Amino acid sequence: MENLREKHWHQHPLEDIEQLLETNVSQGLDRLAIEERKRLYGINRLTPQKGQSPFVLFLLQFNQPLVYILLVAAIVTFLLQEYVDSGVIFGVILVNAIVGFVQESKALKAIEALAKSMEGSANVIRGGKKIAISASELVLGDIVLLQSGDKVPADLRLIQCRELQIDESALTGESVASQKNLAPLTLETPLADRDNMAYSSTLVTYGTAKGVVVEIGDGTEIGQINTLIANATTMATPLTKKISEFSEFLLKIILILAGLTFVIGWLHGQPLLETFMAAVALAVGAIPEGLPAAMSIMLAIGVNKMAARNAIIRKMPAVETLGSTTIICSDKTGTLTQNQMTVQQLFSGQNHYQITGVGYAPVGQIQFKEHPFTAHGNSALLETLKAGLLCNDSRLIEQDLQWKIDGDPTEAALISSALKADLNLSELEKALPRIDTLPFESQHQYMATLHNTNHQPDGQSIIYVKGSVESIVKRSLNALDSDNTIIPLDVDSIHKEIDLMASNGLRVLAFAKKLVSSDMSTVSHSDLESGLTFLGLQAMMDPPREEAISAVKACQKAGIQVKMITGDHVKTAAAIAKQIGLKGAAENTQYAYSGHALAELTDEQLVEVAVNSAVFARVSPEQKLRLVEALQSKGHVVAMTGDGVNDAPALKQADIGIAMGLGGTEVAKEAADMILTNDNFATIEAAVEEGRSVFDNLVKFITWTLPTNAGEGLVIMTAIIFGLTLPITPVQILWINMSTALLLGLMLAFEKSEPGLMNRPPRKPNSPIIDKELMIRIVTVSTLLLAGAYGLFTWAIQAGQSIETARTLAVNIFVFGEMFYLFNCRSLQFSMFKIGFFSNPWLLAGVTTMAAIQVFFTHSPTMNTLFGSAPLTLSQWGMVLLGGLIIYTVVDIEKRIRASFK
């Protein structure tokens, strides 16, 4: 049997299809042919992709430098017989691994969702009989019957259709249902324009059809998307990259210093065991045990804050990734726009009108020259609105304080515009009952309804017609004027008005009527070939969200480019993009590109276009993926929104994929890192702000915790180099690190966003997590802690105090030095008084608790025994507090000096 899969089916005429697929369009396939094709081509089901086993996936959670450091810390504390501390560190590692394991394998879940979307049944003709079978049983050449409400079970070449409309938004991104016909197309016709094809998993919204199966399973368009999802690279987030680089650097430094400490001690002739334990103490002191836990908790807090702002995070590092975003690629329909078609302009009786209000809610008014206008003052306008209301098969329903539609979005917009003019549908239906309908057909481009009436001269009936401008104008003989008189048809003024409306991205429908004999009971196309009276135009669009306009402006002010990637037409997309305020990166660059134009570009040209242009319309899933990859190749951190099956590969490839919670498919949600519960672009802007705040707080924590680790390491090294007694023991170091990280450092996670957060440009992806200024601050505080600890330790020894008292002073100078320094770290730029001393009650509670626990550590006999501490006098406590105050003052002066130079 000839390979049936190597054909571009949309380009072949109907008479060739039957022969090429070796089938019979009237009888269908026989049993032998079905079995043979199942053997050759398999069944209509997506092939599951082989992924890593759960055990391997779990083990990979430990394959991180920071976890290596923690494992070393856990092993060292275990060897020191500090089993509780070792258990705590092991617990942190295990929790982190479990959280990461649960949130992995997006690609596998996305493919499972795709497989589910393929399930269902199909009505087919086999052996001359119409039967229902499982969609998975379809084979190439099967004859499938479609009707309104069906999900298309495989890729079909249509061979018969009647008024067929298919919602292909999940596959192409096109917001308006596709009108289908049988005419062959050129080879280059893009997916969204293949009107003679019906694709798997799309939905029939109107009409009936017969089609022959040309692709099944992995060979379908949705199957190819399955392959793209499986092959898409999961990008490391900026946070994981930076933490990994920082951890590797820290690991090397710690190992070098620990080794150096051991060698120096050995050269000084100190006992090997004592020298080894000192090196271990240095490693324990220098390892920031609290960092992984702090990072996880801060991200988790960010997740909760975002959930309150309608953004659900599926993978925690995505919180910070949003803060690093340099480009947002957004879908148009429902994200930047209302996803509710709205009539905005009217033309009737030689006058132009505006209509206010957005969405399906019939709230608004007709305006003429910016003043309210009643439709009853213009007969032509009133008839135009009547035609839109009566020549209509949809319904507008108020449910749970929201207006929803039953039917076509375009027809719903016409109902809303009529209701805004105070027309009453039930009264009109009684006065003008419908007696026949001529449904919309793509070859005629209009719909007509016949209405009976007793109010017309001679008891005539009325035919109302709506459709494309071309189809209505060419059938019109004259026009209705505002005073209800018949006037000559002015085609030029109509087309001038249409051009004006189209330039604003509006979709234009024309309306007409014809008076016929009251004896007429049916309406046919021959009745409408000529003699219509032109009534007017209604121009509509899916209007931009007001909050999206301000959110886009805020993103641009924050240095983030916003680009539109949509399945809509180029002119419509560009017009809406300009209304929203989208800008290209370069003035002399083409503003908008179609998918067809993108296909002609080389990889190098695509990179330049992707960076500089603002709108990409009618693009395929592969092109969306290429656009994301092109932007990433220039070092951009890319956030990508989407709601359809066609968006899933690009969502997975993006640094952060954002799916729509209301209108999104399960496939898109499974491939995404974040889900918007309100499908609103403004939520993305809020999430970006929250992401920046999370990263700020994480940097604050690292800036706060590193001086402690560095100071402890320096204390150990100084003791070894100069042959001095250790001022702090390894177990005391663990006490300092674990207690302060939990009660002090983590409280920084509750800091609110700093002033001007969204006025900053995005962080450069290759910038270090700690910049030069902060590194100088860390070194300064580390040195002050070293000096304070050794100063008080030496003073106590010389004053004849016990070694326990001296060490307790050194421990407290670290704890209270960190406590005072914590107030410096509440803002990396401003004084704590500028951001509000009481603005973070969690931090104040943590400081109070830490102070109480440290008093307990110092004065409790039990703690004295466990940790080798000793009680202090009031004067000694005063020295400790003075040391902390000095650290705060020095850092505050340093911040003020830096601010004066900016």
Active site residues: 331
Other C-beta atoms lying within 10 Å of the C-beta of residue 19: 9
| Contact between 307 and 653 (Cβ < 8 Å) | no
Which residues does residue 213 pair with via DSSP β-bridges, in sequence order? 156
Q: Report strand pairing: 532-541 vs 476-480.
A: parallel
The residue written with tokens 């498919």 in the block is 665
Q: Write out the E strands in 546-664.
A: 561-566, 592-594, 615-617, 638-642, 656-660
Write the single-letter amino acid at 870.
Answer: A
Give the ranges where 315-373 is alpha helix by DSSP (H): 318-324
**CA-wise closest residue to 753 among 663, 644, 836:** 836
Other C-beta atoms lying within 10 Å of the C-beta of residue 67: 18
- Token pair of 300 as six digits: 């988790």
The residue written with tokens 């009853």 in the block is 376
> For 823, left (φ over 0), alpha (ψ -120 to 50), or beta?
alpha
**For residue 104, which phi and psi values (nearest 5 degrees)?**
-90, -175
End-to-end CA distance of the chain: 77
Please compute, for residue 477, the number of CA atoms within 13 A of its CA located in the half-sphere on the CB side.
Answer: 10
Long-range contact pairs involving 400-406 (C-beta distance under 8 Å, separation at least 24): 403/359, 403/360, 403/361, 403/362, 404/360, 405/360
Burial, 430: exposed, middle or buried (Cβ in 10 Å; 0-12, 13-18, 19+)? exposed
**CA-wise closest residue to 573 among 313, 331, 835, 848:** 331
Which residues, including other chains, have CB under 8 Å from residue 865's CB and lie 6 or more apart?
A: none
User: Helix axis angle, 65-79 relative to 238-267, nearest 10°?
Assistant: 40
Three-class secondary structure of residue 774 per DSSP = helix
Q: Residue 782 and residue 707: Cα distance in Å, rounded?
A: 4
**CA-wise closest residue to 789 among 728, 722, 734, 855:** 728
**CA-wise closest residue to 830 among 769, 886, 891:** 891
Write the single-letter amino acid at 687.
Answer: A
Q: Residue 563 and residue 683: Cα distance in Å, rounded?
A: 16
Other C-beta atoms lying within 10 Å of the C-beta of residue 845: 13
Give the ranges where 199-324 is alpha helix by DSSP (H): 221-231, 238-267, 272-286, 290-307, 318-324
- Token pair of 443 as six digits: 């070859």
Q: Residue 749 and residue 300: Cα distance in Å, rounded?
A: 10
Q: Residue 527 and residue 520: Cα distance in Å, rounded?
A: 10
Other C-beta atoms lying within 10 Å of the C-beta of residue 266: 15
The residue written with tokens 């001095």 in the block is 724
Element (H, E) at 11: none
Q: Residue 612 and residue 50: Cα distance in Å, rounded?
A: 38
- Token pair of 575 as six digits: 């017009």
- What is the per-residue burial (b if ≥16 Cβ within 10 Å, else e) of 116-133? ebbeeebbbbbeeeeeeb
- CA distances from residue 388 to 73, 375, 529 in whole angstroms, order as listed: 74, 14, 20
Give the torsion through C-alpha atoms of 893, 895, 896, 901, to 10 deg: 130
The residue written with tokens 């990072």 in the block is 295
